[in-house]
Chains A and B, each alone.
Chain A
């Protein structure tokens, strides 16, 4: 109905333009069967002259001249272009457009038509993200693939993203999906150039991932890079980005006089003396203080240049690209730069043999990643937020003030000094190659050899001045060199007999990874001259680090695909994997899956609205071998000790325990999906429901402290994920002037730990509160999702009327009040959860003439943030000695008994649990395309302006609820999501760029 009305409006507009034509033409538009098509659009290209066909499919119009080109479009049919020439009467037969269902999807060791799919596969193509200036592949995935949850770790350029497919399975293991690039496994999304990518296919359910066996349990992301074809093309894309921290957080640094008054009160309240005199407070009132947020934040400018050349020449196809980017962070002296080159060459040696070699080299460098500075007392942002606003950055001699002059607020080093004088360079160098040899042995049988190598050097050079009270700088060097190779032999046999279509795929594969770590620490440099003066460290301050490990995987896979009459689709697979990380008896695992698809088009009948429907159901098992090499062995680690106060000797100590019975964890998943096509595939929908059970978890179980602590890897515990993925696509408007495509991707996951071990109902996490309050902030609880926050329940303040009751616990009015049990002990339990339940992305592309507008909204819902950063700002405890929160001016007094405590408080309390739900305008981009510039039809120039993170709707009071921050050795991120100890803020970006193609 809506669309019909729209046509009328458009017709009226078009008719009004039927002006003084010089060539009068007429004709009839029909489908392939000669049935008339009503409402087909005929437009003279480059003009506003156009008309719609009537009920007979007939039209007539006046075109400017005989050289005019007619463009005929009709939903569901392929566009046609016809030059008028001498013809005056046209009979135009439209061909049905290649449906989106005919798209070829990569399913691993082969491809399948999207319409033939039986498993759960989400596809993201360049079309959906090219309107967003991207620096990362993860950005392209975020909110665009149903079932995939992508969360930015923090706003530092080059920072990690967390990518999860259908929830998380492992409590102590890695939950990252397997990344396969051009058939080679084990890549890393972060180092890829998003411009090189043709498609990203996400295998979600076990029937799809079972072909990757013991590596498939976290889902698989298959990236296919571009290939060249047709005449040579050069594409240049340059954009500049201006980044800023959206909003500074309010603290008492905004009003240092109030800060000083409260500091005096804090001390007087416990019987001490004031720290600031009235004269000092008056001076602060008049002159203000130093807000360290302003001191560490800056506006960052970034430049991105991407160039590619592609095309084909005879039997050779090429795609060659390069990228250079230089990003400044929004925190001073932080940044990222990257240089990468790709060469994808493919040669069709003869009709039966195709050889292709893809080479990719990348080097990127992160400057002053926050990880270099100890996070034990919160990040550098947390330190800036809590730093003494009455101590200036520099003293009278222009030297840095190292610490708070009065020993108040943050006890840490001046964060401006740390950021200015420290220099931590993390360099990541990568060289990957993928060689594919395709041999068509007979018309039915194909052999493919895929070999891949990956060389990666991760090099960390740190010069750190935030080192302790002697201020003698520390240096650290680590080089992590990993080498891997993969060899896959693939045989594919396919044949059609009448209504039967059978395809068999057999794979034999071998994968090897070697990892070497070398490094040293040289501490207490006698001169503060920088990293390359590490020799200035005393011998006692020099230590070395050295390690080697290796893992191997040997596999066989068989897949059978059967299609009956394009109606019934059956896929069955089995993979047999042997992994070196388990002992001989426990090494080999078999991972089966089966899936069925059935076309329900017969049910649909001849409906104009619902035009296709398909039901899919699948079941399968996949494994996870994600423990480090040598995990089944007990072993000794190295340490040292000095018996003479001066020179350390090497020592060894038991650090790991043997478990010969260790084996893979198993994830069993059932998936049911429904695919719908509406309005001749102008709209489509996919809904999928899944149940995923992970058993025999590879769990690093704590050894009781009485036996020395540490962990033993055991196969214990179970986790369940239940969820729904929803994908909707709709071309809301499509006519000759305007198109509006909208895509909605939504994922809902309910995660639950269903079983632990030894009948335990809960185990503590490893994330401890910063700043001298070493309480555990997270907990794993049976019956609850991962990511439970642990803490006390804040009940406001003890009031004067409760003085006697408070005294029983050694408390006084004005002190914080926490929930206590019957024994009077403060109760520490679960007080929130940081795992989002619902995530969505809504992408809109509107084209009006030469204008393109993209609006991309995203949201995450159903999770909490443990805002420890705000606890540290509130302060009065730990290493944040003074109160810094703005609301502290309303703290409890005998005459105004508010619920803001006037004395020392816990960080780990429900006072700092906040709802994290948010909606973000992830991208808005407006582009204008100039075509046919300088009469050159091959030259296109697009200019665009865009903003990322232009607005954020949330009740959260910190910088950004999506971010969480990590301390070292605090367990995996999925067990401690949403804990904020001072994450690098997510910037708001404004980008301006040009894309030039010729």
Chain B
């Protein structure tokens, strides 16, 4: 052993040195650099240096707008309207709470609306902050992109204000834990400023249907804002004239903005017709891209046919709805079934057309606007590439008519705007005067207000009309929603049917209908994190 050691001892030092050299080489090869370089795989938040960066940010913002609005969640308030109702049991408690005007602070849709909208507002603020003071080569493009960010922020603030009333006005990226609620007037002033800035920066025309907003889109939303401003809670009636003039400005420039009524209203609620001239601001959905619309299809179908039974039509509203092509475009009164009793897209060869009054689980008419024409074959899908009209040109026309009336005006233009919508509702050419439907006298404001009721039914807008005019009690209270004429069906244990008059709405009112309960409570988690919101 000793011998061995001696014979090898001369190697030992060499080996040791070699080992140390090897180890140090390993260390030496690698830069001993503990500074991170996130730029290898991640874009930093910095003022924009190119249009490409800014375009990415704007597309990213629209992704967030989509994420905020793709489900019924952010529209849950609208179940308060007298047009929409939901299943009386099942898992629709969040929607029922709005339907029954008894919204608890734990309602998940309340937080969902808040979170979704503010998340998209951050995306808009990112663009506004990072383009501030920056001048890029393509000035026109930069203006357009900046304008889109301002428009989106204004839209989302307004959506939040319509749900919650007073809100915090978040205009920067960095969290401010001291932030409190802005006054209602401050909220409206900020929205007005955002829309006006957007209008000044946006081009006159953009994409078909306003999937990207243009200057006309921004002005049309200013008209909507002034209607809200003139109504509850500020009741600043002076704003009606601004609403009228803004709507008029959009109408006068409708050709340059590319806005017009489509001839057949029914095409608006089809896959093929999703992008059209009537969209003032349309939310585009692309199901295969992972950006679907989850408000349509089976969400409006009853459980009898595997539907989600989330969005049903109120019976009384349906009964009162004037007959005609518009009603047919709005509702399905029957469901086409094949010989196995399943819903079929082959309507022409359906074995039976089952009336809504013979549904087994819950008898309510179906919104065609939601389920789509059966031929479109999205009735069995909870996700589709259908559009959402965040505003249609028809609303601009009716806003003009109503705002003109409410500000004491009575112009032929205003009557014509109203009549265009009425003619189309009857399946007549919108631009051709027709004495059989045209009206030119009466309470213009109220006629237009009622026309909105029918025209915009099931589009999540009716509730806000009730709120701004303080007519919630009138629309929902007492027997206002009790069906008058509909005869449903009772089935016995053997499946035998017998007629049963429908006399009460699907979901009774449980909460307060007074104005102090119009707005949703703030999400409690948010108040816990930002205590000044509770003050």
**Are B170's CB and A633's CB within 8 A?**
no
Residue of A nearest to B206 (CB): A643
A532-552 contact mask (Cβ, 8 Å, vs B): 1 or 0: 000001101101001111101
Contacts of A633 in B (CB 8 A): 36, 38, 42, 44
Instruction: For the complex, give the distance between the alpha carbons of A441 and B15 in Å.
Output: 11
B394 → chain A closest CB, angstroms: 21
**Are A652's CB and B284's CB within 8 A?**
no
Interface presence of B348 (CB below 8 A): no
- Give the total number of A-B pairs whose CB atoms are below 8 A apart: 303
B141 → chain A closest CB, angstroms: 15
A548-591 contact mask (Cβ, 8 Å, vs B): 1 or 0: 11101010000000000000000000000011110010010000
Residue of B nearest to A538 (CB): B288
Instruction: For the complex, give the distance between the alpha carbons of A271 and B1 in Å.
Output: 98
B472 → chain A closest CB, angstroms: 18
Number of interface residues of B (CB under 8 A): 113
Interface presence of A651 (CB below 8 A): yes
Interface presence of B517 (CB below 8 A): no
Chain B binder among A134-142, A187-195, A292-300, A703-711 = A703-711
Contacts of A705 in B (CB 8 A): 111, 114-115, 118-119, 523, 525-526
A652 touching B493 in the complex, CB below 8 Å, given contacts A523-B290, A635-B38: no
**Are A512's CB and B30's CB within 8 A?**
yes
Residue of A nearest to B301 (CB): A407
Contacts of A773 in B (CB 8 A): 91, 108
**Are A469's CB and B177's CB within 8 A?**
no
**Are A709's CB and B16's CB within 8 A?**
no
Interface presence of B291 (CB below 8 A): yes
Q: List CB contacts (< 8 Å) of A246-269 with chain B.
A: 264, 266-267
Contacts of A552 in B (CB 8 A): 33-34
Instruction: For the complex, give the distance between the alpha carbons of A541 and B292 in Å.
Output: 12
A708 touching B119 in the complex, CB below 8 Å, given contacts A541-B289, A643-B207: yes
Contacts of B381 in A (CB 8 A): 468-470
**Are B123's CB and A351's CB within 8 A?**
no
Q: List CB contacts (< 8 Å) of B364-407 with chain A.
A: 380-383, 385, 387
**Are B42's CB and A274's CB within 8 A?**
no
Contacts of A614 in B (CB 8 A): none
**Are A641's CB and B15's CB within 8 A?**
no
Which single member of B26, B38, B212, B526 contacts A706 (CB below 8 Å)? B526
**Are B207's CB and A644's CB within 8 A?**
yes
**Are A439's CB and B40's CB within 8 A?**
no
A451 touching B284 in the complex, CB below 8 Å, given contacts A642-B289, A772-B91: no
A419-450 contact mask (Cβ, 8 Å, vs B): 1 or 0: 00000000000000000010101000001010
Residue of A nearest to B304 (CB): A407
Instruction: For the complex, give the distance between the alpha carbons of A666 and B360 in Å.
Output: 63
Instruction: For the complex, give the distance between the alpha carbons of A580 and B529 in Å.
Output: 31
Interface presence of A399 (CB below 8 A): no
Contacts of A489 in B (CB 8 A): 20, 23
B164 → chain A closest CB, angstroms: 11
Which single member of B35, B45, B173 contacts A584 (CB below 8 Å)? B35
**Are B530's CB and A704's CB within 8 A?**
yes
Q: List CB contacts (< 8 Å) of B79-114 with chain A.
A: 88-91, 93, 100, 102, 104-106, 108, 111-112, 114
Q: List CB contacts (< 8 Å) of A268-286 with chain B.
A: 270-275, 277-279
**Are A275's CB and B360's CB within 8 A?**
yes
A447 touching B382 in the complex, CB below 8 Å, given contacts A645-B284, A705-B526: no
A449 touching B288 in the complex, CB below 8 Å, given contacts A277-B495, A644-B211: no
Q: List CB contacts (< 8 Å) of B22-48 with chain A.
A: 22-23, 26-27, 30, 32-36, 38, 40-45
Instruction: For the complex, give the distance between the alpha carbons of A764 and B527 in Å.
Output: 13
B158 → chain A closest CB, angstroms: 16
Contacts of A708 in B (CB 8 A): 118-119, 121-123, 173
Interface size bracket, A side: 35 or more
Contacts of B15 in A (CB 8 A): 349, 353, 439
Interface presence of B253 (CB below 8 A): no
**Are B91's CB and A651's CB within 8 A?**
no
Contacts of B529 in A (CB 8 A): 702, 704, 758, 760
Interface presence of A653 (CB below 8 A): yes
**Are A510's CB and B27's CB within 8 A?**
yes
Interface presence of A878 (CB below 8 A): yes
Contacts of A584 in B (CB 8 A): 34-35
B265 → chain A closest CB, angstroms: 19
Contacts of A487 in B (CB 8 A): 23, 26-27
Residue of B nearest to A451 (CB): B26
Contacts of A775 in B (CB 8 A): 106, 108
Instruction: For the complex, give the distance between the alpha carbons of A524 and B105 in Å.
Output: 39
Contacts of A33 in B (CB 8 A): none
Contacts of A587 in B (CB 8 A): 34
**Are A580's CB and B36's CB within 8 A?**
yes
Instruction: For the complex, give the distance between the alpha carbons of A647 and B114 in Å.
Output: 29
**Are A274's CB and B100's CB within 8 A?**
no
Instruction: For the complex, give the distance between the alpha carbons of A648 and B361 in Å.
Output: 40
B153 → chain A closest CB, angstroms: 12
Contacts of B304 in A (CB 8 A): 407
A270 touching B491 in the complex, CB below 8 Å, given contacts A652-B43, A704-B526, A704-B530: no
Q: Residues on A close to B: CB < 8 A?
A: 264, 266-267, 270-275, 277-279, 349-353, 403-404, 407-408, 411, 437, 439, 441, 447, 449, 451, 468-470, 485, 487, 489, 510, 512, 523-524, 537-538, 540-541, 543, 546-550, 552, 554, 578-581, 584, 587, 629-630, 632-636, 638-654, 657-658, 702-709, 712, 758, 760, 764, 771-775, 810, 825-826, 828, 876-879, 881, 903-904
Given contacts A273-B490, A651-B58, A706-B168, 20 further A-B pairs with CB under 8 A are A274-B495, A277-B493, A277-B495, A408-B303, A437-B19, A485-B26, A578-B34, A580-B35, A635-B44, A636-B45, A638-B60, A640-B290, A645-B284, A645-B285, A652-B57, A653-B61, A654-B45, A704-B526, A706-B526, A707-B170
A-B contacts, 13 listed (Cβ < 8 Å) = A272-B361, A274-B495, A510-B30, A537-B288, A540-B289, A580-B34, A640-B289, A645-B274, A647-B286, A704-B177, A705-B111, A707-B173, A826-B106
Q: Residues on B close to A: CB < 8 A?
A: 1, 4-5, 8-9, 11-12, 15-16, 19-20, 22-23, 26-27, 30, 32-36, 38, 40-45, 53, 56-64, 66, 88-91, 93, 100, 102, 104-106, 108, 111-112, 114-115, 118-119, 121-123, 126, 168, 170, 173-177, 179, 207, 211-212, 274-275, 284-291, 297-298, 303-308, 360-362, 380-383, 385, 387, 489-495, 510, 523, 525-526, 528-530, 533
